[in-house]
Structure 1
């Protein structure tokens, strides 16, 4: 994760300026009380903030209203600052997502009543987290995420005994997690994920965090922390746990005594590890809403694994992620899980048919069974009750979709992937009803029809990617040069389209018309702003 560039598209910069102006009109991220209550910040704290500003690079001038002039004297009115209604002391410094750089000045120590410090989404040029932050004894909220830091987590942060929220994610941090963090007994939210951290011994320090509710340790190397399951399961208030890509190699959960474990857990994310089976105790977690085990070493029949979830979790489970494993066999009767909103089973070895009972999942929003070996004829019965469906991916199977030509689905999809499914020979009329779709892939779908001219000339307004390649679509394309197709990616290759080369808007970001029968000259355009060739 290198330092972010400050070169932004002009439109985005204009938006940032507009947002900043609105913030100024409201007195900053969280309105300061300032003159409205005849309260002003102490001179020493104003000087401390100005000293902090000296160490900051501010390419967009977010801190231009911080100053020594008389009209800027009250720092409680500065953007990003909030003061106490009673005393005027600075209690919040919120400068997240301001594209600031430079260094974090120790002048913050002159703000002894600071409870909230957010410097996230800035660029501190690979500097270390200052150790002095551990002396801001009143801090309750500390967010330094995505700020291009580096180095280890200073153990001094363990001195912040009032801290309830700590986010150091996506910050290029490395080295072991200091066990002193276990002193943060009031901490409810801890996010150390997406760094290069390691745990060289065990997670015993974590067991002291009895208040923790949200724990995110993704991409932390826990390969030698054999006590991870016992520790995290003992946290009485834990609701969300993410230990994805942590080099967990547990081969079996069968020896784990789970009778009093995970009593509040709602989300368990163990993606991209080396786990061999679904935790059998997960079926007995009556609060479990999300289970993520994609990218592990799960093998065997899917139905047998699903049986491990047949306890009280079957009524609460909303999202099941088992993609990128070695599961095989038929799809189970997912109607046993009436609350399901998302099913992700792509890239396994599943075969057999698609049960019609999937149509009974009235809450289903996302279904992905792509890249398996399913063979079936899909009819309206599979989808007739799925009015909330937003994304559907059936790609890479041997599925035939046979719908009545005049069928109107009960859903409006955002993403639709049907690559290598059989949809033809006619162009599927029901797809024309999907007006909210952003990504549409019906490539290699055995369509040997003409493109519906009216539909093609009036594509869905949110569409960003259209792939109808590798069919036998013939005839001429209508002129779409006047349409607003900003950043749309077209792939119409490997068909039988003919006639004069149609005109496309130069707003199109990519265009593939190869392996067709067009005549005439190709025009080469260059989009100067994004540097994208369109051919």
Structure 2
């Protein structure tokens, strides 16, 4: 080996050694800890909230050993920046008031306040300032009043749940309601929407939903939905991404069949139970939903026979047609084409 080759080899070795050292230091370096700004904002948030003795906020302290808020329960930070990116405060029996200091978390992507009790208070408008939110879950948190239009500013949102379920299908006393849904189409990346038991009686819900091209889960149970006016425009704009649709316990009529039958052939779960389809029959076009595994139409006052096209629903595992005036045996149809259906 020549002297020149030896020098070159030695340089390459030193360079490789330096790269390995940098990589080892990077992988072994701990999280830098939370930013002081986020820490103070969390303490302000805690100040307005009250919970049971066992709630996670007990770990949120001012003591020196608790200085790193990234170690606090329910708080998750970005390891490189120290910014809080996730607050998981669901099911902590929290009460009280949400501090406006929440807006300090401009890097927040995930906020879960579900299954707490905010005593019918309004969803804070300033949540709409958390522009990086991807996930927002306020379900079962006993919020009330009008949904703030500011939620339309959350243009990165993919998951939104404002639902509040009650036993015996009774809406909560201080139920959430919407004056309109003009803000909803701004959430063009939304994949999951659950507004169950939110009053949407006169808000043009179908037009708003049709403006969400990536929506896969649509859950609007018990929302006082009126029958939609179906037009060629609403059918044309219908998204084919929907996989789960629950429109049960509303005031819909058979006009909804036209919307569902037009483009939603990828549906796996469909619940239209406890609506008012008096005198209507199940449309044969439902048989074109080849991916359908769960179909619920109970207590809907349907009449007529089960369409022969249902024989093509080879993936069907659940079918609930109770308390209708239907005739025919689906099993006879399925056995001819899909021997494993409904087993």
TM-score, with length taken from structure 2 = 0.81
In the TM superposition, what is the alpha-carbon distance from 1:231 to its structure 2 partner? 5.2
| Residues 16-35 of structure 1 aligned to structure 2 (within 5 Å) | none
| Residues 161-176 of structure 1 aligned to structure 2 (within 5 Å) | 161-170=155-164, 172-176=175-179
Structure with the higher fraction of residues in strand conformation: 1
Q: What count of residue pairs does the alignment treat as equivalent?
A: 301
SS at the partner of 1:51?
helix
| Residues 234-245 of structure 1 aligned to structure 2 (within 5 Å) | 234-245=238-249
Q: Is the Cα–Cα contact under 8 Å of residues 69 and 75 in structure 2 kept in the other structure?
A: yes
User: What's the CA shift string for 1:13-49, capped at 9, x where partnerless?
Assistant: xxxxxxxxxxxxxxxxxxxxxx981421111110000
Alignment counterpart, residue 129 of structure 1, candidates 117, 123, 127? 123
In the TM superposition, what is the alpha-carbon distance from 1:175 to its structure 2 partner? 3.6
**Which residue of 2 is the match for residue 278 of structure 1?**
282
**Which residue of 1 is the match for residue 226 of structure 2?**
223
| Residues 19-418 of structure 1 aligned to structure 2 (within 5 Å) | 37-62=30-55, 63-170=57-164, 172-201=175-204, 203-227=206-230, 230=234, 234-250=238-254, 253=257, 258=261, 261-275=263-277, 276-300=280-304, 304-311=305-312, 314-328=313-327, 332-333=331-332, 334-336=334-336, 337-341=338-342, 364=343
Quickly say closer, same or farther: Cα 1:160–1:72, change in 2 above 3 A. same
SS at the partner of 2:59?
coil
Quickly say closer, same or farther: Cα 1:322–1:55, change in 2 above 3 A. same
- Whole-angstrom distance in 2 between the partners of 1:308 and 1:188: 30
SS at the partner of 2:213?
coil
Quickly say closer, same or farther: Cα 1:38–1:200, change in 2 above 3 A. closer
SS at the partner of 1:324?
coil
Quickly say closer, same or farther: Cα 1:315–1:121, change in 2 above 3 A. same
In the TM superposition, what is the alpha-carbon distance from 1:330 to its structure 2 partner? 5.8
- Whole-angstrom distance in 1 between the partners of 2:135 and 2:235: 24
Quickly say closer, same or farther: Cα 1:131–1:137, change in 2 above 3 A. same
In the TM superposition, what is the alpha-carbon distance from 1:328 to its structure 2 partner? 4.2
- Whole-angstrom distance in 1 between the partners of 2:47 and 2:38: 14
User: What's the CA shift string for 1:339-390, capped at 9, x where partnerless?
Assistant: 444xxxxxxxxxxxxxxxxxxxxxx3xxxxxxxxxxxxxxxxxxxxxxxxxx
In the TM superposition, what is the alpha-carbon distance from 1:177 to its structure 2 partner? 4.4
SS at the partner of 2:298?
coil
- Whole-angstrom distance in 2 between the partners of 1:212 and 1:274: 26
- Whole-angstrom distance in 2 between the partners of 1:79 and 1:116: 15
Higher mean Cα deviation, 75-84 or 105-114?
105-114
Q: Is the Cα–Cα contact under 8 Å of residues 218 and 242 in structure 1 kept in the other structure?
A: yes
In the TM superposition, what is the alpha-carbon distance from 1:56 to its structure 2 partner? 0.5
SS at the partner of 1:198?
coil
Quickly say closer, same or farther: Cα 1:67–1:252, change in 2 above 3 A. closer
SS at the partner of 1:86?
coil
In the TM superposition, what is the alpha-carbon distance from 1:157 to its structure 2 partner? 0.4
In the TM superposition, what is the alpha-carbon distance from 1:232 to its structure 2 partner? 9.9
Q: Is the Cα–Cα contact under 8 Å of residues 195 and 221 in structure 2 kept in the other structure?
A: yes
Q: Is the Cα–Cα contact under 8 Å of residues 199 and 224 in structure 1 kept in the other structure?
A: no
- Whole-angstrom distance in 1 between the partners of 2:33 and 2:118: 30
- Whole-angstrom distance in 2 between the partners of 1:98 and 1:36: 32
Q: Structure 1 unaligned runs (5+)?
A: 1-34, 342-363, 365-535
TM-score, with length taken from structure 1 = 0.53
Quickly say closer, same or farther: Cα 1:321–1:122, change in 2 above 3 A. same
- Whole-angstrom distance in 2 between the partners of 1:76 and 1:331: 56
In the TM superposition, what is the alpha-carbon distance from 1:50 to its structure 2 partner? 0.5
Q: Is the Cα–Cα contact under 8 Å of residues 221 and 247 in structure 1 kept in the other structure?
A: yes
SS at the partner of 2:193?
strand
- Whole-angstrom distance in 1 between the partners of 2:64 and 2:316: 59
Quickly say closer, same or farther: Cα 1:89–1:257, change in 2 above 3 A. closer
- Whole-angstrom distance in 2 between the partners of 1:222 and 1:184: 21
Q: Is the Cα–Cα contact under 8 Å of residues 51 and 95 in structure 2 kept in the other structure?
A: yes
Q: CA RMSD of the aligned region, Å? A: 2.5
